[in-house]
């Protein structure tokens, strides 16, 4: 081609429509490592503003009209990935450090030596829009793939409404769990991927792998080929949540709570890494049994007679100790003050006291209404 690209990092330009910045201040927008005619160069776009007064900057507001150009090299989404993990991969793909790429999102704060396996990156609405522009994807697609970019987890806007990000040491909610390496390979990703999950574990139904937040590189996952019933239980759990919505997550959490009752004598979550695998098949059965009683309850149709009959059937289906725990659970689920209208099957089950609202990153021990402890009292659950 005969085309050569300068190695200079001072290819600054000020394009129309960019928001003003401090005089003489440079803002890196994007960059990538490309090869043209055998010359590898780091091409970085930045904006430089010279001669603008502080009054002009204050009047127009930083970041209000910035439209960063899309990065030349993209990385594919992995569902449920943490924003920190995705940004780290995106920076590596474009030959940048994570801190350099973060400069293009706006002003931010970062703990020293942050690692996507330990903490999560958060953005406000303006910075989310910039990230969508950098990767050339709609905001809706971004929020579906990266849970921490959803409205629920956005940082508050600052005084001037500019883009802001924060990468603290402690995630605001949820747990960072190792993603399935086989799923990553299918998406042409050859580096570790970290998911942000409401609980400390994740089961890949497609490849039959269990992973958690143990950070154990010697045993990064557990192969579930010897336990296909666990994979099937996870498939049923996912379907239950898809069908019932947030109420499905509530019932699963309460089912974990039921099994944590002292009468049941089952291991509590956090006893060891495999505890979720041992509990999950029974949890899904218990949650499925709860559906009929909970539907009648939120619709105001659960009479004492219905409740006694449901408990009798539950005790016959499960062991007597689980039946005792279910009775204690049902006492927490009284009739709501304002029943909802019956809904056709296939629609989400509404939430009602004692579960009026749940967060997307709340774990089962935070969601369940049972009055007894659900987690084992260990210093570091899951290794």
pLDDT in tens, 2-45: 333 333 333 333 333 333 333 333 333 444 333 333 333 333 33
For residue 167, the surrounding DSSP H or E stretch is strand 164-167
Q: Work out the burial of residue 63: count CB atoms within 10 Å of its CB; fewer than 13 is exposed, 13-18 middle, 19 or more buried.
A: buried
Give the model's pLDDT for residue 236.
98
Nearest-angstrom CA–CA distance, 290 and 296:
10
Give the model's pLDDT for residue 109.
83
Nearest-angstrom CA–CA distance, 269 and 67:
46
**Max CA pair span of the chain:** 85
For residue 121, the surrounding DSSP H or E stretch is none
pLDDT of residue 346 exceeding 60, the answer is yes
pLDDT of residue 383 exceeding 90, the answer is no
């Amino acid at each position: 081609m005969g085309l050569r690209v300068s190695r200079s990092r001072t290819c600054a330009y000020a394009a129309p429509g960019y928001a003003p910045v401090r005089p003489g201040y440079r803002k890196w927008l994007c960059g990538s490592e490309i090869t043209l005619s055998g010359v590898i160069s780091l091409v970085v776009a930045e904006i430089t503003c010279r001669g603008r007064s502080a009054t002009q900057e204050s009047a127009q507001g930083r970041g209000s009209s910035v439209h960063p150009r899309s990065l030349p090299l993209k990385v594919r989404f992995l569902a449920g990935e943490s924003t920190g993990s995705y940004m780290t991969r995106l920076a590596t793909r474009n030959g940048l450090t994570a801190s350099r790429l973060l400069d293009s999102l706006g002003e931010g704060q970062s703990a020293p030596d942050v690692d996507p396996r330990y903490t999560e990156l958060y953005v406000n609405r303006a910075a989310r829009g910039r990230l969508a522009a950098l990767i050339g994807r709609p905001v809706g697609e971004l929020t579906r793939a990266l849970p921490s970019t959803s409205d629920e987890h956005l940082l508050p806007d600052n005084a001037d409404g500019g883009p802001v990000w924060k990468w603290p040491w402690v995630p605001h909610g949820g747990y960072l769990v190792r993603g399935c390496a086989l799923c990553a390979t299918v998406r042409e990703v050859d580096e570790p991927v970290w998911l942000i999950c409401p609980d400390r574990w994740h089961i890949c139904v497609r490849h039959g792998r269990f992973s958690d937040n143990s950070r154990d590189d010697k045993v990064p996952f557990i192969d579930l080929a010897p336990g296909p019933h666990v994979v099937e239980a996870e498939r049923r759990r996912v379907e239950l949540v898809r069908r019932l919505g947030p109420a499905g997550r509530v019932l699963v959490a309460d089912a974990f709570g039921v099994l944590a009752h002292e009468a049941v004598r089952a291991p509590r979550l956090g006893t060891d890494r495999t505890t979720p695998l041992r509990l999950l098949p029974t949890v899904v059965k218990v949650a499925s049994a709860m559906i009929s009683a909970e539907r009648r309850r939120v619709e105001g149709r659960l009479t004492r007679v219905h409740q006694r009959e449901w408990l009798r059937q539950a005790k016959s289906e499960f062991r007597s100790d689980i039946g005792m725990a279910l009775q204690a659970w049902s006492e927490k689920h009284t009739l709501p003050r304002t029943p909802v209208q019956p809904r056709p099957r296939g629609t989400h089950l509404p939430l009602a006291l004692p579960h009026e609202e749940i967060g997307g990153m709340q774990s089962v021990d935070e969601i369940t209404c049972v009055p007894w402890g659900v987690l084992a009292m260990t210093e570091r659950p899951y290794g």
